[in-house]
Amino acid sequence: MTNAVEMPTSRGEFVCPPGRAAAVRHMLVCLDRSAAAHTCLPYARFIADAFEAKITLLHVMPSPPVTQEPNRTDALEWEIARREAEQYLSDAESSLGGPSETLAHQIAQGDPAEQIVAVARDLHADLTILSSQGARGESAQDLGSTVQHVLASAPGSVLLTQPTSSASVPPKRILLPLDGSVRSECVLPVVVDLARLHGAEVLLVHIVTEPASTAVLSDAQDIQLARSLASRIQANAEGYLARLRERMLHEVTAVQTLVVRRGEERQALLDIASQRGADMVVLAAHGSTCNAERAFGSVASYLLAHGHLPLFVVQDVPNGRDTAHGNGNGHAHHVARAPLSARPPEGD
């Protein structure tokens, strides 16, 4: 298996690399000692088993206080907290099981978001796993600032767990949205590995936008023409998903395909995931249109911000997340990205 890389042709379009589109070799699991964060552990074990990946558990503590003689109370309390965190990570590591050489843990000090991103880069983590809820109890409808900044800046792929979800681990049904682009198709080998491990069903979904009457589409004839085109796209999409199923998913026990016409693609995916009992959604970070300066396209961003199911977003432009712009000398500059809630609507 190979890591996900961007392979432009002479005209710059994205081409799926040969072999596995993305391999998770090393994942970083973020734990803040909350019950919500603890739900990351079974997903870490599941992903590690699928890709034979290494797991590093991370806990971020506040920086130690500056001691002032003769009062050392604050420093002593901090040291006690550090030892408790060390024991917590050791216990979490033991609960994961698996070969000891594939497990490690680390304590960092400072701002949680900054430290998570820095450690992910230092470890060259392919995947960062974190909970949508932290110690403060933020929900997926109101992602905390730490989660938002990690999602916007962490290198590689991300898996956002949902502590309040009743989804099975390992998943019994995995939903994969496909928009017809090569980028979205590159996630298929990842889904195959995940589904094959425990015999999960895969649901391939394509959303066709239903034309709506507007100020620029008001003529009855024009509306009928637009709806006829949508019907044709729907038929083509059904054939497209059927071909993908035959060509790339023959190793999976059960595969279903679904083409739906809806006015809003992103909410439609959330509705379908709920209605069809999906346990996990897996998708590419970007779709048919890609702005490499954005960590995620509009669909992935919406699902991260509003979803109620575990979401595995496979980063298709890993270099773009750390090195979006070169300086002409072979070096690159990091591009800061706004949190998900601060971003305007964009294309995929």
List of residues 6+ apart from 293 with CB closer than 8 A: 320, 324, 335, 337
Q: List for the chain the helix, strand, coil content (%; round to 5).
A: 40, 20, 40
pLDDT greater than 70 at residue 141: no
Among residues 249, 200, 194, which one has the least CA distance to residue 49?
194
pLDDT greater than 60 at residue 271: yes
The per-residue pLDDT for 72 is 61
The per-residue pLDDT for 98 is 85
Assess contact for 15 and 5: CB atoms under 8 A.
no
pLDDT greater than 90 at residue 267: yes
pTM equals 0.84
The per-residue pLDDT for 143 is 67
pLDDT greater than 50 at residue 331: no
- What interhelical angle do 298-306 and 265-275 show, nearest 10? 50
What pLDDT band is residue 334 in, cutting at 50, 70 and 90?
A: very low
**Distance from C-alpha of 298 to C-alpha of 182, rounded to nearest angstrom:** 17
Helix (H) or strand (E) holding 55: strand 54-61
pLDDT tens, position by position, 169-182: 999 999 999 999 99
CATH of region 167-320: 3.40.50.620
What pLDDT band is residue 324 in, cutting at 50, 70 and 90?
A: very low
Q: Do domains 17-64+77-164 and 167-320 have the same CATH topology?
A: yes
**Distance from C-alpha of 249 to C-alpha of 256, rounded to nearest angstrom:** 10
Q: In what order do the strands lie in the sheet with 280-284?
A: 103-109, 54-61, 26-30, 127-131, 157-161, 311-314, 280-284, 173-177, 201-209, 254-262
Tokens, residue 246? 């035959």
Q: What angle do CA 240, 281, 168 make, to 5 degrees?
A: 130
> Which 8-state DSSP code applies to residue 322?
H
Tokens, residue 280? 């996990």
What pLDDT band is residue 338 in, cutting at 50, 70 and 90?
A: very low
What pLDDT band is residue 75 in, cutting at 50, 70 and 90?
A: confident
Domain ranges of the chain: 17-64+77-164, 167-320
Pick among 3.40.50.620, 3.40.50.720, 3.40.640.10, 2.60.120.920: CATH of 17-64+77-164? 3.40.50.620
